[in-house]
Structures are given as structure tokens and as C-alpha cells.
């Protein structure tokens, strides 16, 4: 781990982050939407396996990013749980709609990404495919692209068929579902997956990326990211 940005030693909000982490991207968007600026950003280099170092294991025994420490803690982990925590602590702008049915839809769309697709392509899974199952790079990419496509297809089917879909995933305000949808679209780009067959997903992702909270949170705009898209 290496120390990142600090504000006068007043460490009230600490975000454990890595530029490429899509789950951390989701939390960065939520922080930006809520106007919360972390006092410290602690870089955990996933490409160097630093998530498994003792220093980070003590923070999050699951050895996954993101992790967030708000004031005296305890540490918060799992991107959806962190985002809902932020939403409850800072209610404006709301990231979940008001009605139970609408909230369920937004959470379900979010979980297509965060529970059913993204976990299948993270470093620990890619490493297992490579080192334990001995799959070559072509087979590993086939795996990743398959699960990216499954989620994009599920999102597109729901979004294009539902009268609840508006400018964003649910109506005309940004919700948790949009945050997750954008992380899926950005992840697809990382693996050169063409999102053209999913026009509703693409339209909403493009619209979100015009918003400063999303644009500033983009993985390629974080410290340590490569220059090129």
C-alpha cells in the first residue's frame, strides 16, 4: 500500500482504492454524487497482489477492494453496502427511488452487475483459471467475455422492455443501477467487448459519463492508470 492524497492529517474518510477496480469505481461515483471527498486515498495495487499483503488483509480480511473507513470505523466493505451506507448517511441526491417496488428493481439491476457478472472476472478468479485450471489466455478471455455478455444481455432485456426505464435505468434520476451499469460498460471496454448490440445500456452509460461525478471517477482518470483508453 502507498499513501495517496491526504488533507492536513484530518483523516476522517479513507478510501482503499486501485485505478482499475470496477467495484471501487462504483464507490467513487457515489462519493462524488454525494459530494464526499475522501481525506485519504490509499492505493492497493491489485496488479502486484497488494490486496493479499498483511497491511490490507488487516483492513479487509476478504482481501478485496473497495474498503472505506468513515471516522472511527469499523471498516466498510462490499461496494453495494458502502453505496447504500453513503446513501443513508447523505440522503441527497437519493440513489434509490422511494417506492419499495422501484427500490427492488433498482437493486436487482445493480445486482446483475455486482453479484452475477463482475465477480466472475476479478483478479482472484482470473488467477485461479490460469494457475489452478491451467486455462490459456484465449480461454480465460472467452470466460470473461461470456459473463460480460450475459449481464449486458440481461440489462438490455430488462431496460428495453420496462416502462420504468427513463433517461436513466429507473426514471429520470441517477440511481444505484446506473452506477453499476456504467461499471459494466467500462469493464466491457477493458476487455474489448462490443456493447453495440445493447443500445439501451450504451445510451444510459454514455449519458452517465457526461456527468462530472462519473467522469471524474473513471478508472483511467485515477492515479497510476495508463494514459490510453
Contact set with ligand GSH (CB under 6 A): 21-23, 46, 51, 63-65, 78-80, 114, 119, 122-124
Q: Find the shortest distance in angstroms from Cβ 121 to ligand GSH.
A: 9
Q: Which of residues 53 and 203 has its CB atom nearest to ligand GSH in the complex? A: 53
Q: Find the shortest distance in angstroms from Cβ 124 to ligand GSH.
A: 3
CB 63 within 8 A of CB 52: yes
Q: Find the shortest distance in angstroms from Cβ 23 to ligand GSH.
A: 4
Q: Which of residues 169 and 179 has its CB atom nearest to ligand GSH in the complex? A: 179
Burial of residue 221 (number of CB atoms within 10 Å: 0-12, 13-18, 19+): exposed
Q: Find the helix or strand (DSSP H, E) in which 110 lies.
A: helix 100-114
Tell me the CA end-to-end span of the chain in Å, nearest whole number: 25
CB 93 within 8 A of CB 84: no
For cell 471501487, name the residue: 24
Q: Find the shortest distance in angstroms from Cβ 55 to ligand GSH.
A: 14
Q: Find the shortest distance in angstroms from Cβ 101 to ligand GSH.
A: 24
* Residue closest to ligand GSH (Cβ): 124
The backbone torsions φ and ψ at residue 42, rounded to the nearest 5 degrees and listed phi first, read: -105, 120
Q: Which of residues 63 and 159 has its CB atom nearest to ligand GSH in the complex? A: 63
Under DSSP, is residue 6 helix (H, G, I), strand (E, B) or coil? strand
What are residue 17's DSSP bridge partners?
Answer: 43
Under DSSP, is residue 33 helix (H, G, I), strand (E, B) or coil? helix
Q: Find the shortest distance in angstroms from Cβ 86 to ligand GSH.
A: 13
Instruction: Describe the crossing of helices 100-114 and 79-89 by its angle, rounded to 10 degrees.
Output: 150
Q: Which of residues 120 and 209 has its CB atom nearest to ligand GSH in the complex? A: 120
Q: Which of residues 22 and 148 has its CB atom nearest to ligand GSH in the complex? A: 22
Q: Which of residues 9 and 74 has its CB atom nearest to ligand GSH in the complex? A: 74
CB 178 within 8 A of CB 137: no
Amino acid at each position: 500500500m502507498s499513501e495517496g492524497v491526504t488533507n492536513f492529517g484530518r483523516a476522517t474518510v479513507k478510501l482503499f482504492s486501485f485505478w482499475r477496480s470496477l467495484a471501487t469505481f462504483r464507490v467513487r461515483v457515489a462519493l462524488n454524487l454525494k459530494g464526499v471527498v475522501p481525506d485519504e486515498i490509499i492505493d492497493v495495487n491489485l496488479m502486484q497482489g497488494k490486496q493479499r499483503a498483511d497491511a490490507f488483509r488487516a483492513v479487509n480480511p476478504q482481501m478485496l477492494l473497495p474498503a472505506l473507513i468513515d471516522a472511527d470505523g469499523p471498516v466498510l466493505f462490499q461496494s453495494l453496502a458502502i453505496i447504500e451506507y453513503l446513501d443513508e448517511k447523505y440522503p441527497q441526491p437519493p440513489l434509490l427511488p422511494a417506492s419499495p417496488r422501484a427500490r427492488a428493481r433498482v437493486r436487482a439491476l445493480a445486482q446483475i452487475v455486482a453479484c452475477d457478472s463482475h465477480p466472475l472476472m476479478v483478479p482472484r478468479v482470473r488467477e485461479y483459471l490460469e494457475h489452478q485450471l491451467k486455462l490459456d489466455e484465449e480461454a480465460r478471455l472467452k470466460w470473461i467475455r461470456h459473463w460480460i455478455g450475459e449481464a449486458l444481455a440481461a440489462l438490455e432485456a430488462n431496460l428495453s422492455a420496462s416502462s420504468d426505464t427513463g433517461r436513466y435505468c429507473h426514471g429520470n434520476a441517477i440511481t444505484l443501477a446506473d452506477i453499476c451499469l456504467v461499471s459494466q460498460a467500462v469493464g466491457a471496454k477493458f476487455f474489448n467487448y462490443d456493447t453495440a448490440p445493447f443500445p439501451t445500456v450504451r445510451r444510459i452509460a454514455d449519458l452517465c459519463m457526461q456527468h462530472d461525478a462519473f467522469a471524474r471517477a473513471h478508472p483511467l482518470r485515477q492515479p497510476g492508470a495508463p494514459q490510453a483508453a
